[in-house]
């Protein structure tokens, strides 16, 4: 049986990939913190191994070496919330990612894949724009960028295939973080008017089921030491996405644009190009933004019902 190791397996993207792997008949070793396994299915092909990020370097002492197909690294402290701007946490994340890479090599994994981010591109643009004063969110992007660069060098030294998928903006059923789609849909449910920047910056979103499928296809077919963007392939100004969301789930609710200052970088649309991903791996997103928002809102409403 083909096998994969997944760190951060109980998280939003990690658990979606675990389900995709099981669907494709992979055996899975799922890594996450002690007791954090409620999002994982009950399946004889899945083995849960408790592992804190700080213990990543010692994984070869806890898992038997074998010929594993892939190691997917999703575990990352502070991907949302206040720790996203914590320099010490984000630098430690980069080191833990390198620890996971070295552990993957010792365990006999053929390929190592990390959940990279489009924020890496934004962090580079922000750093090299004269006079720019980046917001604290770019500290997270900087952590991902540092991890990416260090892993490329280390992977070349120790002899393991590194493939680096970069997610634009994942959203969908199962996400509980305070990120844009989630918070906006929750306001829509409560009848609150959401406020945004002018929304002129280029953006892209990709539904979680497509993200999971993309990771597996990239693992199977991606070229070593290549980065692959995971997105819808339909990047456009953020305002257009938000108006599509409004039309799909809250046509009678006003959306307020321009009341929130924008302190970021608007990447050119070509940065969101997914053609290399499609050419090398065959992946193409299948769930449109309006449909994804409707699915996510229906799920969020069930959570609202549980809390009342």
> Is 4 a member of any domain?
yes
> Is 255 a member of any domain?
no
Q: What's the rounded Cα separation, in Å, for the pair 158 and 58?
A: 17
Please give the average per-residue pLDDT across 256-267, as a whole number. Answer: 91
Tell me the per-residue pLDDT of 276-290, one tens digit each, with 9 for 90 and over: 999 999 999 999 999
Assign 294 to helix, strand or coil.
helix
Q: Which of 6-20, 53-67, 128-142 has the lowest mean pLDDT?
A: 128-142
> Is 201 a member of any domain?
no
> Is 290 a member of any domain?
no
Assign 27 to helix, strand or coil.
strand
CB 208 within 8 A of CB 13: yes
Please tell me the pTM assigned to this model: 0.96
If pLDDT is split at 50, 70 and 90, which confidence band does 306 have? Answer: low
Give me the pLDDT at residue 300, please: 97
Of residues 263 and 82, more confidence is placed in: 82
> Is 211 a member of any domain?
no
> Is 153 a member of any domain?
yes
Residue keyed to tokens 């009950």: 42
- Based on its alpha-carbon atoms, the radius of gyration of the chain, rounded to whole angstroms, reads 19
Assign 114 to helix, strand or coil.
strand
Give me the pLDDT at residue 132, please: 85
Domain tally, the chain: 1
Question: What range defines the domain where residue 96 resides?
Answer: 1-167
Q: What's the rounded Cα separation, in Å, for the pair 137 and 157?
A: 31
Q: What's the rounded Cα separation, in Å, for the pair 72 and 15?
A: 11
Please give the average per-residue pLDDT across 68-80, as a whole number. Answer: 96
Give me the pLDDT at residue 215, please: 98
Closest CA to 105 of 51, 162, 53, 145: 162
Residue 307 has pLDDT above 60, yes or no: no
| Phi, psi dihedral angles at 171 (to 5 degrees) | -155, 170
Tell me the per-residue pLDDT of 133-158, one tens digit each, with 9 for 90 and over: 888 889 999 999 999 999 999 999 99
Assign 79 to helix, strand or coil.
coil
Give me the pLDDT at residue 305, please: 66
Please give the average per-residue pLDDT across 248-267, as a whole number. Answer: 94
Q: HEC states along 130-194?
A: CCCCCCCCHHHHHHHHHHHHHHHHHHHHHCCEEEEEEECCEECCCCCCCCHHHHHHHHHHHCCCC
At 3, which CATH number? 3.40.50.720
> Is 20 a member of any domain?
yes
Tell me the per-residue pLDDT of 116-139, one tens digit each, with 9 for 90 and over: 999 999 999 999 989 988 888 899
Give me the pLDDT at residue 134, please: 87
> Is 265 a member of any domain?
no
Q: What's the rounded Cα separation, in Å, for the pair 2 and 287?
A: 27
If pLDDT is split at 50, 70 and 90, which confidence band does 264 have? Answer: confident
Q: Which of 24-38, 52-66, 129-143, 168-182 has the lowest mean pLDDT?
A: 129-143
Beta strand residue intervals within the chain, DSSP E: 3-7, 27-32, 46-50, 70-73, 111-114, 116-117, 161-167, 170-171, 195-196, 202-203, 206-207, 226-230, 236-237, 256-257
The sign one gets for the Cα dihedral 38, 43, 44, 45 is negative
Residue keyed to tokens 């608007």: 266
Give me the pLDDT at residue 308, please: 41
Please give the average per-residue pLDDT across 187-208, as a whole number. Answer: 97
Q: What's the rounded Cα separation, in Å, for the pair 39 and 54?
A: 22
């Amino acid at each position: 049986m083909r096998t994969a190791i997944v760190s951060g397996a109980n998280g939003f993207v990690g658990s979606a990939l675990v389900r995709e792997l099981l669907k494709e008949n992979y055996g899975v070793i799922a890594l996450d913190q002690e007791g954090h396994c409620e999002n994982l299915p009950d399946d004889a092909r899945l083995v849960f191994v408790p592992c804190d990020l700080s213990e990543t370097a010692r994984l070869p002492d806890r898992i038997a070496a074998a010929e594993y197909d892939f190691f997917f690294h999703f575990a990352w402290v502070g991907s949302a919330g206040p720790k996203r701007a914590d320099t010490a946490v984000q630098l430690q994340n980069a080191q833990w990612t390198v620890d996971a890479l070295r552990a993957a090599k010792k365990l006999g994994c053929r390929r190592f894949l990390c959940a990279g981010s489009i924020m890496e591109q934004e962090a580079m643009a922000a750093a090299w724009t004269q006079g720019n004063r980046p917001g604290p969110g770019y500290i997270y992007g900087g952590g991902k960028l540092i991890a990416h660069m260090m892993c490329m060098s280390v992977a070349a030294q120790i002899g393991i295939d590194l493939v680096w998928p970069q997610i634009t903006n994942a959203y969908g059923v199962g996400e509980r973080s305070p990120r844009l789609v989630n918070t906006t849909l929750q306001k829509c449910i409560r009848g609150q008017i959401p406020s945004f920047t002018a929304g002129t910056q280029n953006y892209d979103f990709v539904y979680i089921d497509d993200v999971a499928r993309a990771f597996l296809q990239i693992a199977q077919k991606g070229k070593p030491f290549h980065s692959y963007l995971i997105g819808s392939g339909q990047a456009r100004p953020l305002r257009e996405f938000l108006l599509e969301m409004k039309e799909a789930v809250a046509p009678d609710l006003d959306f307020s644009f321009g009341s929130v200052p924008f302190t970021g970088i608007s990447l050119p649309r070509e940065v969101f190009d997914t053609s290399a991903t499609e050419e090398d791996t065959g992946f193409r997103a299948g769930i449109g933004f309006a449909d994804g928002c409707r699915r996510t809102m229906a799920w969020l409403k069930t959570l609202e019902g549980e809390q009342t």
